[in-house]
Structures are given as C-alpha cells and as structure tokens.
Amino acid sequence: MTLSGGEALLQDGAVELLRLLKQEGIQTAVDTCGMVFTEQLQAALPYTDILLYDLKIMNDADHMRWTGRGNAMILRNLGVAALWAKGNGRLWIRTPIIPGATDSDENIRAIGDRINAIGGAERWELCTFNNLCTDKYQRLDIDWAFKNTPLVSRQRMEELLAIARSTRACEDIRSSGALLEN
C-alpha cells in the first residue's frame, strides 16, 4: 500500500497506519517530497519498505521560485533517507521533468551528483510532465502556471537520461510517462 497525496507524512495517523500495515504483513511505500520535519520521516521509515522521494530542483533559488520553498530540508531529509536505504530500506528517487522548470542539463547533472554522493538509492526515475490535470484547474478557476507547458519530447528525454546516467547516480536510471514524438 502506498501513502501519497499532498505530503502523506504530514497527515495525522500516517505513521500509525504504516505500523499497522506492517504488523499485518502488508508491503508499504511512502511517497514524499521530503518537506517534512526529519522526526516525522524517521518515525515512518521503520514501517516503510519503499520510499518514493521526489527531488525536483537542486538550485535553492530555483526551487524557491518554482515551489515557494527552499530545498534545505528536502536535501537534509534525503541524507536521512539514504542512510536508511543503506541499512534495509529501498529508496527510489523521482524527478519530474517539467520543460522550463526542472529539465535543464545543469539541474539533472546536479541531482545525479547529489544522489551519487549520498549513495543508497536503488532507482532514479525521470518522470515526464503531463497536463492531464488542466481541466481540474479550469473547473476550480485557478490559473495554473503550467497550462501551456508542452510535453517532453522523446529526444529531450533521451538527452536527459544520458546526462543522468553519466553521473552514475545509481544502477537503475529510467524514465516514465508520455512523451511527445519528435
């Protein structure tokens, strides 16, 4: 069972739910952006089989621009997650590839270098941007910043994968999601 949606670890009862699931022998995964107090993450890890950790942007100013928050807490918690993964956990890092926001060569290289430096990651997945939620924003009358953002092209994803693999961040580096054909 995967706990996700918003930030699952900020929800009351998340750790207790994980504990009960593990007690029943149910495999657990937690989807996190890492923007939680370290104590919350540490409390959940003993009951987590796979940690799906979003790592979007390495440059703190860019992270602030696109998410409204700096990334110091996220990077600190990534270190905690990596130490856990070196013990008995499974750490899968995911980077959303959003044209114009997260898809620069420099960002992918910096993320790969960080993953390589901390170790412990089993997988790094470059997840393509999709605009399937556009109608939801329209119904809510919210001006979505990415409404005119194109899908990632197959060629660009191949370039980003080559950069990611050149960092030797981990053994399993892959992409997922719909691509715009060249």
What is the number of H-type helices and E-type strands within the chain?
7, 6
Asked if residue 181 belongs to a domain, the reply is: no
User: Residue 182 — pLDDT band, cuts 50, 70, 90?
Assistant: low
pLDDT of residue 103 exceeding 80:
yes
d(CA 140, CA 62): 27
For the record, the structure tokens of 110 come out as 């910096």
Asked if residue 58 belongs to a domain, the reply is: yes
**Dihedrals φ, ψ of 52, to 5°?**
-95, 110
Q: What are the pLDDT digits (tens) for 22-79?
A: 999 999 999 999 999 999 999 999 999 999 999 999 999 999 999 999 999 999 999 9
pLDDT of residue 129 exceeding 90:
no
Say what the pLDDT of residue 149 is.
81
The answer to whether the predicted template modeling score (pTM) of the entire model surpasses 0.85 is yes
What integer best gives the mean pLDDT of the chain? 93
Say what the pLDDT of residue 177 is.
85
CATH of the domain at 154: 3.20.20.70
Q: Which domain range does residue 151 map to?
A: 2-176
d(CA 121, CA 172): 9
Return the number of other C-beta atoms located less than 10 Å from residue 176's C-beta.
12
Residues 6+ apart with CB under 8 A from 114: 55, 58, 75, 78
Asked if residue 32 belongs to a domain, the reply is: yes
Domain count, the chain: 1
pLDDT of residue 8 exceeding 70:
yes
d(CA 5, CA 31): 8
In sequence order, what are the beta bridge partners of 32?
A: 53
The DSSP call for residue 52 is E
Asked if residue 182 belongs to a domain, the reply is: no
**Dihedrals φ, ψ of 89, to 5°?**
-105, 170
Are 121 and 79 in contact, with CB atoms under 8 Å apart?
no
Are 136 and 86 in contact, with CB atoms under 8 Å apart?
no
